[in-house]
């Protein structure tokens, strides 16, 4: 069953949210979301007909991205002079032998790959061949719901969730890839607050990290990757089971 792996996955997601929520270094978030919008818009510029674009726009609004920026990102599809963006995924291993998947949106792989490689190897990790890490994960829809009572849990399960996990006064909802947009809309229509919804690589099993030194080294790798402008998302199968103080 997915539940154990999902719990570990959400642990890193929560650490990432907590560390990045008010970090000035995350000033490139509009660029990242804009890249996601531009890529999604290639399948159609009408969000009512393009679920991926609708989800990207919702993420932009949640990040308080101005509508002018959102429209500019959509307009890149028709702008022949704009550099073409492509989605490129890199794989690697971090301290403790954990798997890492790095999703990027780039107009220059010759810039992006060295940056990703440096972020991983400089901090104690190694790059990996394509597919050597990805098989340890499954692509899933992940929805964060701002509720945690029994009624809310039943509502999200009725909305098409494959599974749901209560954590820190939230419910993490997991869906099949193709059901993400429908489940998100159904949950929102029920009146429950949807905090986030996106496709993620969810680990099939997690690697427990109980050594504080290894945990600190791993977080350095993940933080270095998160700071890269071309990086859209970072996934790991690490289950960090120790608390790390802010100064480490």
pTM: 0.84
Superfamily covering domain 136-203 = YebC, transcriptional regulation domain (3.30.70.980)
Considering only CA atoms, which of 102, 108, 104, 106 is closest in space to residue 128?
102
The C-alpha torsion from 187 through 192 and 195 to 200, rounded to 10°, is -30
Provide the token pair at 64: 């308080």
**Residues 175 and 190: beta-carbon distance below 8 Å:** no
For residues 203 and 92, give the distance between their C-alpha atoms in angstroms, rounded to a whole number. Answer: 14
What is the chain's pLDDT, residue by residue, as a tens digit (248 residues)?
Answer: 223 344 444 455 666 655 554 444 445 688 888 888 999 998 899 998 998 899 899 889 888 899 999 999 999 887 766 667 889 999 999 999 999 999 999 989 999 999 999 999 998 999 999 999 999 999 999 999 999 888 999 999 999 899 998 888 899 999 999 999 999 999 999 999 998 898 999 999 999 999 999 999 999 999 999 889 899 899 999 998 887 764 44
SS3 116: helix
**Residues 52 and 40: beta-carbon distance below 8 Å:** yes
CB-count burial class (<10 Å; 0-12, 13-18, 19+) for 192: buried
């Amino acid at each position: 069953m997915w539940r154990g792996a999902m719990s570990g996955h959400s642990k890193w997601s929560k650490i990432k949210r907590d560390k990045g929520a008010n970090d000035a270094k995350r000033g490139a978030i509009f660029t990242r979301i804009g890249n996601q919008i531009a890529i999604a818009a290639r399948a159609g510029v009408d969000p009512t007909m393009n679920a991926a674009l609708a989800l990207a726009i919702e993420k932009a609004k949640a990040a308080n991205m101005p509508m002018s920026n959102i429209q500019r990102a959509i307009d890149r599809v028709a702008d022949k002079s704009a550099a073409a963006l492509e989605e490129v995924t890199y794989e690697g291993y971090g301290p403790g032998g954990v798997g890492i998947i790095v999703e990027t949106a780039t107009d220059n792989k010759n810039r992006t790959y060295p940056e990703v490689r440096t972020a991983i190897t400089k901090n104690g990790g190694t790059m990996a061949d394509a597919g050597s890490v990805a098989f340890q994960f499954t692509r899933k829809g992940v929805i964060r719901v701002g509720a945690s009572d029994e009624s809310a849990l039943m509502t999200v399960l009725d909305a098409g969730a494959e599974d749901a996990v209560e954590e820190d006064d939230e419910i993490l909802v997991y869906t099949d890839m193709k059901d993400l947009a429908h489940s998100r809309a159904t949950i929102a229509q029920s009146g429950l607050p949807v905090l986030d919804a996106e496709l993620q690589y969810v680990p099939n099993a997690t690697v427990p990290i109980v050594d504080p030194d290894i945990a600190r080294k791993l977080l350095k790798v993940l933080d270095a990757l998160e700071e890269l402008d071309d990086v859209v998302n970072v996934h790991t199968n690490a289950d960090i089971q120790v608390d790390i103080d802010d100064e480490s």
